[in-house]
Amino acid sequence: METIHYRTAESAGLRISYREAGRSDAPILLLLHGFPSAGHMFRDLIPLLADSFRLVAPDLPGFGQSDLPSRQEFEYTFDNLAEVISRFTEVIGLKRFAIYIFDYGAPVGLRIALKHPERIAAIISQNGNAYEEGLSEGWNPIRAYWREPSQANRDALRTFLSPETTLFQYTHGVADTSLVSPDGRSLDDHYLARPGAHEAQLDLLLNYASNVALYPDFQAYFRKHQPPILAVWGENDPFFLPLGAKAFRRDNPQAEIHFYPTGHFALETHCQEIAAAIRDFLARVFDLQRA
């Protein structure tokens, strides 16, 4: 069992909590979580890879153990999340690294890639979308909020922040829900219940439209820089469809795509299989780049 360290670092005036494992001189994988989770979603993956890689899993601002500043102190946009995490990588000395992007982690990580393509060794997308065809009809209530950011449309999205929706995200499309530990979703609900968390999350749901607007830029980045891409996708995800994984090959024909018969939080049920795919992929990526 590899040792996992639980640390904090200051980035852009915020305290960022992160977990880290592996040798300091090993190839680096930055793990970027999604909504409504935090770095704890990687609790099973990290020990499976830490013998060969240095793994760093920060909690995004407003999530997990990281600071949850008020909306007066911090504007909850994906540009700002990406800026804080980009600065975080500099603070802890990450110069070149692969990124694992899941859900909200995708627009955060891909913004970093756009700004600093020289830092990105490879991309692992686990239900991390960059194509409009990857967005399901489950986004329709959020799309309505984008079109008309009224208080009524904002309030209609509060159900997305409920324990019932968290449970749905973890279990929809999972054949055997007894495989899904209650630990992750219980922590998610705990963090969502903090004062100020709901309003911050509703701001991010509104700002998610900026990510869709950036899809052409993300795709241009894939075409120009051809980063090695591995898509490991829960094919029953109610929000991010398999078409979003297949689309990577349109801009990067060498993208490797694996589907798993599970839902949004694929690591909850298929961590061993995904870890094996990552190990094989990154071993080839970093061996080639060292050659």
Q: Show Cβ contacts of residue 67 under 8 Å, excluding neighbours closer than 6 positions.
A: 14, 15, 16, 61
Q: Show Cβ contacts of residue 248 under 8 Å, excluding neighbours closer than 6 positions.
A: 125, 130, 131, 222, 229, 231, 255, 257
Confidence of residue 149 (pLDDT cuts 50, 70, 90): very high
Q: What is the pLDDT of residue 1?
A: 55
- Cβ distance 12 to 87 under 8 Å? yes
270 SS3 class? helix
- Cβ distance 235 to 259 under 8 Å? yes
Q: Please state the domain extents for the chain.
A: 4-290
- Cβ distance 131 to 217 under 8 Å? no
Q: What is the pLDDT of residue 288?
A: 56
Q: What is the pLDDT of residue 290?
A: 56
Mean pLDDT, residues 52-77: 97
Residue 256 has pLDDT above 70, yes or no: yes
- Cβ distance 227 to 113 under 8 Å? yes
**Active-site residue, from 33, 40, 258, 264:** 264
Q: What is the pLDDT of residue 50?
A: 97
Residue 287 has pLDDT above 90, yes or no: no
Confidence of residue 291 (pLDDT cuts 50, 70, 90): very low
Percent of residues, the chain, with pLDDT higher than 90 = 98
Residue 61 has pLDDT above 70, yes or no: yes
- Cβ distance 287 to 280 under 8 Å? no
Q: What is the pLDDT of residue 90?
A: 98
The verdict on whether 264 is a catalytic residue reads yes
Residue 218 has pLDDT above 50, yes or no: yes
Mean pLDDT of the chain: 97
Q: What is the pLDDT of residue 172?
A: 98
Q: Is the pTM of this model over 0.95?
A: yes
- Cβ distance 80 to 208 under 8 Å? no
Mean pLDDT, residues 88-110: 98
Phi and psi angles of residue 115, each rounded to the nearest 5 degrees, phi first: -80, -35
Can you read off the two tokens belonging to residue 108? 């955060």
The CATH class, in words, for 4-290 is alpha beta
- Can you state the percent helix, strand and coil of the chain, rounding each to 5? 50, 15, 30
